[in-house]
Chain A
């Protein structure tokens, strides 16, 4: 049955591709340009089962591995993700002042169909009050959502964008320093997709009013002030459901997200150019995206008899999202002599929230100042004679947490260090007139954790894109907030077929 359903889905895909294979794509309907892509993704684990789905706790024997735990069958699953995605971008320009953009997305998660290791789970859950504003609906496998929907108004020095939108700030790529306006949707890949695409598919658009005014002056060309306001339609970080391939919450835990709707996100920034430097000064206050779990007691039957963890988790936490304040800035310097661009980005969160633990139980939230800094350099370099230049990006990322850290845990329940140092490197070597790109991303945590993602991206004509990448997490560091062996259950290749129109 599973196989039949799977095959019929695949036939539908290839039929859809075949009937459009001779067209160049992109439709125009009235004032609207319609473009987008269909994508089929297969992500397979090759090394480890997800320990979180088997992490049980008993008051009698303590922590133990329960199999099959949250899965239907124990052991390493066959697939992490098998998904069809249709992402459509509809842009309508009504006149020089007004335009509108809609980006509906349709998901069909076939992982559970193709792999009988899993119980049924909701593929893209929204387990919090007020989630209706996400404009997402459907069943456990199929979901439709209006990912983005906004209108733009431009007149003179003014630009106003109203609606459900992504807002990205800052210079750093793939590191959440200034780029923290929107939360992340991690249900289906923990942001381990092709790193070159950064957070575009997972940065959850929220309802914002965004207003920019370019301030005319002779000294700083392009000096622009920006104001953003989300009136309080809060969306937290969306984690994979327990029992799903990417689950990061141990089976013995149940986190009840307490998202207080009505809490606004307010911010602004000043951007400009003082050649050869471009800069930004930023401020934002918002409810913290990640839930800080505080103990709500234990579920005694679940702790004594943890045989059905999905129904009876042992420990129950309430997920709090306290308000945070972030100030920061960014700058880049065009170092023409070296053919490089230098980047810097920093933020200070004076009230970064952490859980204070008593006897290993998170009981209250305390504030600590958190200072994040990224220094980066990008430089194309001719490494291999006869080939195009290789794009090389290097980033150094430091997170400093002030104050007393004893007994503190972060949103993942991990102990907090004063300093965390991370280096990232990114290489992209084009081949064959840039039709093929060999890519490598490496993230190295000095506490012995690493994430490596080598891969190849192939552009075939106008419409077809093929990706084959491999994720590899490792190192001795196992804490949940780090990119180490705690994520080694994701290790393995993923393949994507994309047909664009």
Chain B
């Protein structure tokens, strides 16, 4: 029998964190295994949960790749086995990334209050026969990631999708640069995005459920400010708790001077002119969980974006800095690191009009989020690469810490070589980045009548 060797990049075939925990005798009460996060809660670190070899890219690649090294199309082969397919294509076409040491602090990309709730509520989440998430009491989930140590793709995707932004509410300000094959900026949009969680609330009253909206997961408001003919357009999405239902969509259309309910089925086409991204692509996976089927295709160490990519929050950042600098470049420079473990979740859509054959979502079980996805067309050809980068915003999370959140997004159409890159700001005009704010409630922001009274045109 062939001896298994982690150098074959199949190290999870013979090693699991469960084995490691067993060997080190780290148990919780009632004989339950502790997840990585509770190790940390017990004063240990991620280092204690993973072998040394997968926490150092230098060791993992036998010294071929080291922190500080710049990866370009000249040396992309060095990281080909630990990068997503989409990232490799981007590098081959001119993207550049810098390698950094592995970050082992979960709070680098997750708010502390969320991690605490994840630990506090561990073991209380159940999935019913259809795969719908519930609290063991029968009610909606009460907050925190429901499955801190996911054993299936469905558990992993629920741990992310229940509240992709983690906050009871969040308001972000973004610009999207659409850049063509030649690297020319062809259009720039500006938008306010808001998400208000109606269940699983942890910080802002009422908690954990807004009783009036208990059948919903969250409401999402997208308000466009640029270009001129989108000014004032608002899109309100009501996401149902029942993950087999498509959301409801209401628009405020300035030229109609009123709100209008529209079908929600246009999920697999550009959100606007020049846009690479579809409605389905927001938050890496925007369709309700049970409208796709999910399969755990593997787990292995892989490259993931470093939390040092803070984008516009990097004061004085220059174009050549590897922090996702806010310049309209086709390939904003970013810093990457070896993540000790990445779950490969293969999703297949079952929605009318879906033109994806598969989406592979890369789930980081330390952060319990996903920051990358590859998408294949119906012919099985790699089509898109999605990169959602998290980092510290430096803004209070109104729960005793600072708020990690998205700091940059790349939507790459690999077949057309076209990009829609998103930058996030702490302030544009009269809007500021906010999380867990008492002023962001459904009635004031996320209803048709709220859209009407806040209309700017």
Contact = CB atoms under 8 A, between A and B. Distances in A.
Nearest to A436: B273
Nearest to B260: A171
A221 B213 contact: yes
Contacts of B307: none
B453 A93 contact: no
Interface residues of B, number: 48
Nearest to A153: B453
A91 B447 contact: no
Contacts of A212: 449, 452-453
A271 B263 CA distance: 20
B265 interface: yes
B454 A154 contact: yes
A96 B437 CA distance: 14
A347 interface: no
B457 A26 contact: no
Interface in A299-346: 332, 334, 336, 339-341
Nearest to A171: B260
Contact of B187 (A93, A96, A461): A461
Contact of B211 (A24, A218, A271): A218
Nearest to A166: B257
B255 interface: yes
B269 interface: yes
A463 B260 CA distance: 26
Nearest to B258: A168
A484 interface: no
A50 B450 CA distance: 46
Interface string A136-178: 0000000000000000101001010100001111110100000
Interface string B150-188: 000000000000000000000000000000000000111
Given A24-B226, A200-B257, A382-B353, A341 B449 contact: no
A28 interface: yes
Q: How large is the interface on A (under 10, 10 to 19, 20 to 34, 35 or more residues)?
A: 35 or more
Interface string A14-38: 0000000000111010010101110
B429 A33 contact: yes
B246 A167 contact: no
A389 B226 contact: no
A101 B455 CA distance: 10
Given A89-B457, A101-B456, A339-B265, A463 B447 contact: no
A224 interface: yes
B443 A434 contact: no
B243 interface: no
A24 B257 contact: no
A200 to B, nearest CB: 4
A340 B256 CA distance: 20
A462 B211 contact: no
A359 B447 CA distance: 56
A180 interface: no
A438 B219 CA distance: 32
B272 A434 contact: yes
Contacts of A5: none
Nearest to A154: B453
A216 B447 CA distance: 13
Interface in A433-488: 433-435, 459, 461-463, 465
Given A200-B255, A430-B270, 19 more contacts: A26-B225, A31-B430, A35-B228, A91-B456, A154-B453, A166-B257, A198-B255, A200-B257, A218-B211, A273-B447, A273-B448, A278-B448, A341-B261, A389-B266, A434-B275, A435-B273, A462-B228, A498-B229, A500-B227
Return the 4 tightest CB-CB contacts between A and B, nearest first. A500-B228, A159-B453, A388-B269, A168-B257
24 contacts: A31-B430, A33-B225, A35-B226, A37-B229, A96-B439, A154-B453, A157-B443, A168-B258, A200-B256, A212-B452, A276-B248, A336-B245, A336-B264, A340-B263, A341-B263, A378-B263, A380-B265, A382-B352, A389-B266, A430-B270, A433-B273, A462-B226, A462-B228, A463-B227
